[in-house]
Structure 1
Amino acid sequence: MFTPHRKRLAVSTLLGAALLAVPVTAHATAAAPTAAPASAQVSAAAVGLDDPVKKDIAMQIVSSAENSSLNWKAQYKYIEDIDDGRGYTAGIIGFCSGTHDMLELVEYYTQIKPGNVLAKYLPALRKVDGSDSHAGLDPNFTKDWVKAASDSAFKKAQDHERDRVYFNPAVKQGKADGVGVLGQFTYYDAIVMHGDGDDSTSFRNIRKRALTKAKPPAQGGNETTWLNAFLDARVWAMKQEEAHSDTSRVDTAQRVWLKKGNLNLNTPLDWKVYGDPFHIG
């Protein structure tokens, strides 16, 4: 079952100049002792959301909210119009025909595999970009998307664009802010839904809103206090749009782990999204 609580506003810009200059290890704080054992320093630096095990956990959690399933690898073929004003939503991260990222995905797929089954839709995708129109896509685009999803090159293209546009920028900003795996995940989930455009509910502006209430560890703040401020700003952003107004992916998931002090997002994990329970052992 696919939920209607999906996707973000236009995503034309990646994180860049806004990133803080000095990265900090995953659990560093202003009060961290300077004489920590070398082994502890290596361990802290080595584990981030980009650790393969943690990344898979992140994908499962996002899929629980985006697709009501932990089986994120089954979502390469997913495509539907969920009537949120963004046209077709599809793939492992909810690429949308109306928010530019689907166009960039198909362009990249065509670069690595010219003549693929979706290449013929590029002119139409360029025309509908920024709207909810299906002009030039119907009636066969959805069928061809499913067909493309059986191609390993298309799966790799989806992975590539997920990482380039969403995952890597979120993790980079999280490490720069000095937050651990949970914090990096809260950033990732936010950028997946809201994108990083210039609108008031984009990821960068959620972060700016949080900065008016608290400071991240890299600026001398407490990690838990900072993440609570970020989640408060995230909830505000979600409530600005009816399609995102159910905030359970924050309230009964991320906030639960934060209250438990699970800053490293260690398993087992139990949470609910839209009332549905999930578990990762």
Structure 2
Amino acid sequence: MRALQGHGRYLRVLATQRAQPSGYSLGDVRAYGPGPASKVPESGTAPSAATPAAAAPLTVGVKRETAFQLVSSAENSTLNWRGEFDYIEDLGDGRGYTAGIVGFCSGTGDMLDLVTDYTRRKPANALARYLTALRTVDGSDSHRGLDPGFVAAWRAAAADPVFQKAQQDARDRMYFTPAVRLATADGLRALGQFAYYDAAVMHGVNGLRAIRSRAVQARKTPSQGGDEIAYLGAFLDARDTEMRREAAHSDTTRVDTAQRVFLRGSNLDLVAPLTWHVYGDRYSIKR
């Protein structure tokens, strides 16, 4: 170990000898010093010990599955999101029918988009006859033209692998991919990427962007030079505020007893095991 004089933000490692024919190998590097003269930022209070695999983005393998399970615990009260293709009911929240793996709604356009895409893939399907009605009720809580047969038709279609694939693609296209892309641009790790995705599912991507804009007014994103934990705290505060504006979504436990729990533990990489509560129910992911 060699003592050096100086200060800086980054440490550069110069590799001068190959450890193996295929290239260099770096197992561990640590820098020690007397500590900063100024206050340690929030994220510095609990450095992440995640391995490179555990620090993977939300789009990779088990992290992606974790995101879908977390959303399903709030949307469908189960971790088994694959068992929710046939879910459908009117929650009385002004959005008409809510259905499927992320709560596609007849009143918010995403259900119409989904059924349109399903019909493009398979014209002769149980839901195609309701496309005109879905266009009519879009933007309202009306069931006009959907009752009495739409619920049964949705459940019948849910057994079709083509419809199941259409639901998954719609989830990714409308919510998961744009939310993770925005979070990645903001310099957020898996927890922040999930927080954006969950907000997009409930509020739409435009709603997510509005929540983010309010958060940025309070704290800088990591890409702007801000602290990640501090910024995510501001984002979740803004999310809570937005949820309380709607009586049907004023229960903020999916944020406060789930996402904030991970944030308080500085689990920015969403490393399992994870334990959280949503609407009074306890959930856990062991690995």
Q: Give the TM-score category using the shorter length.
A: 0.7 to 0.9
Distance 1:118 1:36 in 2: 61
Secondary structure at the aligned position of 1:114 is classed as: coil
Distance 1:68 1:149 in 2: 18
CA drift at 1:275:
1.6
Distance 2:250 2:26 in 1: 44
Write out aligned runs for 1:125-140 (5 A). Answer: 125-140=134-149
Write out aligned runs for 1:66-145 (5 A). Answer: 66-145=75-154
Q: RMSD value over aligned CA atoms?
A: 2.1
Number of matched pairs: 247
Distance 1:32 1:72 in 2: 42
The worse-fitting range, judged by mean Cα deviation, of 46-55 and 230-239 is: 46-55
Structure 2 counterpart of 1:213? 218
What is the aligned counterpart of 2:194 among 185, 190, 211? 185
Change (3 A) 1:34 1:118: farther
Distance 1:163 1:259 in 2: 28
What is the aligned counterpart of 1:226 among 211, 227, 231? 231
**Per-residue displacement from partner, 1:37-73 (whole Å, max 9, x unpaired)?**
9879x94898211112111111111111111111111
Q: Quick check: 2:55–2:269 contact (8 Å CA) kept in 1?
A: no
TM-score (norm 1): 0.84
**Per-residue displacement from partner, 1:233-279 (whole Å, max 9, x unpaired)?**
10110111111111111111100111101110011000111121111
Highest Rg: 1 or 2?
2
**Per-residue displacement from partner, 1:131-158 (whole Å, max 9, x unpaired)?**
1111111111100100000000000000
Write out aligned runs for 1:38-57 (5 A). Answer: 43=52, 47-57=56-66
Q: Give unmatched runs, 5+ long, in structure 1.
A: 1-29
Structure 2 counterpart of 1:7? none
Distance 1:235 1:243 in 2: 13
TM-score (norm 2): 0.82
Secondary structure at the aligned position of 2:205 is classed as: coil
Secondary structure at the aligned position of 2:58 is classed as: coil
CA drift at 1:179:
0.6
AA aligned opposite 1:107 = T
Q: Percent identity?
A: 57
Distance 1:94 1:101 in 2: 9
Secondary structure at the aligned position of 2:143 is classed as: coil
**Per-residue displacement from partner, 1:176-228 (whole Å, max 9, x unpaired)?**
0111000100000111111123xxxx111100000110011111011111100
AA aligned opposite 1:62 = V
- Return the structure number with greater relative CO, CA threshold 8 A, min gap 6: 1
Distance 2:54 2:185 in 1: 12
Change (3 A) 1:48 1:138: same
Q: Give unmatched runs, 5+ long, in structure 2.
A: 1-7, 16-24, 28-50
AA aligned opposite 2:211 = I
Change (3 A) 1:32 1:248: farther
Which structure 1 residue ranges, 4+ long, deviate > 3 Å from structure 2? 30-40, 42-46
Distance 2:11 2:86 in 1: 49
Distance 1:191 1:100 in 2: 14
Q: Quick check: 2:178–2:205 contact (8 Å CA) kept in 1?
A: no
